[in-house]
Amino acid sequence: MNYKEFLQVLGNTDPICFLDNKIKISLEDVPKYIDKYNIYFIPNIGGSKKEDITEFKTFFVDLDAGKDSKGNFLPGKTVKKYKSEQWKKINDFSIQPNIVNETRNGLHLYWFIKEKITPELWQRIEDALVKWFGGDTNTKNAAKQLRLPGSVWRKDPKYPEYPCKVLKENDIYTYIASYCKLFNISESITQTTSEKKNARFRYAKPTATKSKSISPRVFTNYKQLFDYLTKEISMFDYLQEFHNLVGNNQRSFCCIIHPDKHPSASIFKVDSGVELYCCNATSCGFKGNIIQVVSELKECSRSEAISIICKNLNIEYKVDTRLKSILEDNKHTITDDIQYSHTDLYNSMYRYTKTLKELHDIAIDSLEYSSTAGKFLFTSSIQHIAQRMGKRDKKKTSTDIAFLCLLKLIEKVDLDTDADVPKEYEKYVKRFQNKHNKDNYITVFSIPSYTYKVLTECE
């Protein structure tokens, strides 16, 4: 994400900018100086003093590793350890930041604001966030200058320059009332009755990051939709808005699956990133993800529950049955046709047909289509493929896939070089890639339609 994309998502496309915290410049001048100076900006709108701010676009917290006793910046290893510790705090916090921007010395956290808020209430919530995270107390001013994402840290010539980059994006916006409940802050001290009514706690429907319209968010494959609903949607916020959950803390509240007078339920995130609802009452014991919760509450099927959630959150799930049928045709071609029409190809691949069919099944479950190049795109890790085939030897599975790629029956897609990959899909995949574990590294594959011409080229 470059600085222009960041500012678009923030909702402040023409902020006040500064060189080295001193010289005011316009956003148009940033490209002239970004390779020579430290670039700062004021996220909120109105002026360079807190009393001048007229529109609050974000809360922010500056997590800074600081300096040693001699005033020198800490070594890179020490800062890296500090950042790792801060990520634990971030992941444990119930309201996830919309943006995490990394600098040389720490992390800048942003929670975007999509409704009106008074200066007094903004300051109360800002103070509470800074206190909870143990952030820099000097960064609580509504007109505070922060490093522009995409700029370069170059505070001290003794240290190498460090590019500031966005490490996390989250387009789920939380209403002000949610912060108030979390930090036990009364809205009534600063808002009128009508404002309080409009600011009641409710789940903020995700909106497109590059558009101010209210058009629905569109998903074209089940896997993306499932990951979004179970990993990125705040189940606690959603259930409060749409299913009458009452409580201030997602770690302890009254269960909505059964009549509950004493808090017995909680919501927590497992290692895979999926949020689970769990009731500890012996008379209930329910445990499940957001889809299962809605299915249980509405006494409906799984697909109906997904439809309910999508309708509530302004999400559109488009299933292209034509693409699925083409992949099913491929499977029939593998079983029934190739051995007769392309004998040499069949003799080369028949030992690998089980792996190839399994890849087709995975593709059907998590399909994305790029019309530009006519590719069927899907993602998986080698470990996941091996597990689905009941194999323990991931090396053998990897060898099978490499051979199928050699035959051009499947293809590994390089997100960095393949211009035909949809940008939204590229962004989705990179969010879940685990580069630190080769077994769990998510690879993008493509499968062509096995027409006679394509199979002849494979042969």
Which whole number is the average pLDDT over 12-39?
91
**In angstroms, what CA-CA distances link 405 with 230, 324, 409?**
32, 21, 6
> CB 335: neighbour CB atoms within 10 A?
11
d(CA 160, CA 191): 48
Question: Which residue in 134, 144, 207 sits closest to 171, CA to CA?
Answer: 207
Mean pLDDT for 237-241 is 91
CA dist., res. 139 & res. 119, Å (int): 15
List the CATH number of the domain containing 94.
Answer: 3.30.70.1790
Question: 3-state DSSP call for residue 316?
Answer: strand
Tell me which residue of 437, 406, 324, 418 sits closest to 373, measured CA to CA: 418
Six token digits for residue 368:
């994305």
Please indicate, yes or no, whether residues 233 and 279 belong to a single structural domain of this protein. Answer: yes
Judge whether 191 and 199 are in contact, CB under 8 Å.
yes
Q: How far apart, in whole angstroms, are the C-alpha atoms of residue 356 and residue 335? A: 11
- Give the CATH number of the domain where residue 294 resides: 3.90.580.10
- What average pLDDT does the segment 439-445 reach? 71
pLDDT band at 213; cut points 50, 70, 90: very low
- Domain annotation covers residue 423: yes
Number of domains present in the structure of the chain: 3
- Average pLDDT of the segment spanning 284-311: 91
Q: Structural domain of residue 221, as residue ranges?
A: 217-317
pLDDT band per the 50, 70, 90 thresholds, residue 284: very high
For tokens 């316009």, what's the residue?
A: 26
Q: What angle do CA 398, 402, 406 make, to 5 degrees?
A: 170
Task: Give me the mean pLDDT over the 402-407 stretch.
Answer: 93
Residue at 293 is within a domain: yes
Same domain, 51 and 153: yes
453 and 350 in a single domain? The answer is: yes
In a domain, 203, yes or no: no
The verdict on pTM exceeding 0.85 is: no
Domain identity same for 378 and 301:
no
How many other CB atoms sit within 10 Å of the CB of residue 356? Answer: 21
Whether residue 308 sits in one domain with residue 326 = no
Residues 261 and 152 in one domain: no
37 plus 176 within the same structural domain: yes
